Structure 1
Amino acid sequence: MIVNETKLKGCYILEPKVFEDSRGFFMETFNFEKFEKKVGYKPNFVQDNVSKSSYGVIRGLHQQSPPYSQAKLVYVLQGNVIDVAVDARKNSPTFGQYVSVDLSSRNRKQLFIPKGFLHGFSVISDTVIFAYKCEGFYNKESELNVNPLDKDLNIDWGIRNDDRILSEKDLNAISFKELEPIEL
């Protein structure tokens, strides 16, 4: 596994080893010991989620407030997304900055998003099947949502305005300026 830290401390792009031959391929999507050794963090993943979406869908920006904050390891099983992590950690030197990563079933990259980050993605293929490993269980009452089209964040989702599909919850979410920084 190749591990590269992004410009946002604690947020990593992982590239698993893939073994391919004429029959197809095999890859290990997660190994606790390797992850801990390379990243220096012991995740406690307790919930796996899978979503399916079509072209133009933008999901996010989401996080849960402490004590229900979730770190996530995300990757694509089928298709292609632009995946985004926004640093919302109080007193972080990169507060309000984001990383944008192309994740696809072809490049097989993964993104590890630590606690205190908002997360979202846009679908840039016909469809996508997207997988999440989460620390902490889902807790509806602790949801934090920021509008992914927030002008201050100015995220390039790779989707033309007319093709964007967002949930009502995401369209009506607060701006990043309205978000209380996440204190962990």
Structure 2
Amino acid sequence: MVKKEERKREREFQGEKEEAVREENRREAHWRAVKRRYDREGLENRELELEESELMWAKREVERRLRLEKEFNEERRERMRMEEEREEKEMEWKERMLGLQIEHEKQMMQMQTEACQNQMQVLGVMARLVCQFFRSASDGLGGALGGLPPHVLHNLQHLGGLGDNGKPDANSPPEFM
């Protein structure tokens, strides 16, 4: 009987021992499950943090691109404004140059006209002198310029409008024109 009791106690002890091992295994399984859950939650938290970080970086990238695009547009507008100003200044310069060119051409034409008038006056005076000279020589009076009275000679010098500067006067008489 002693052996039966020992076996019985041994079985009970063995059962208690197995129960303790099972309980220990259940606790370990529970802790592993809890740990896995925490790990999963931690992983999920890390994934959420990673997603938040990615969203933040994407937002920063979008903001940076918008800022760069805005700066590019401002720079383009500034270049266009400067180009328009340059074109306006160039047009003003061309207009001034055209005006100066027209004024120069007018002055040149005026100078040519005055030179032609002066030449015509000189030719007229010389033609009168030659005519007077030949007329006087054919009269038989014997002097080349003897037939011209002094006041006519004086008028021939001054009527052409040639002054000290060689330009005709504005009020030159029409008889030599």
Q: Which has the higher contact order (CA 8 A, sep 6+)?
A: 1
TM score, norm. by length of structure 1: 0.16
TM-score (norm 2): 0.16
Which entry has the higher C-alpha Rg, 1 or 2? 2
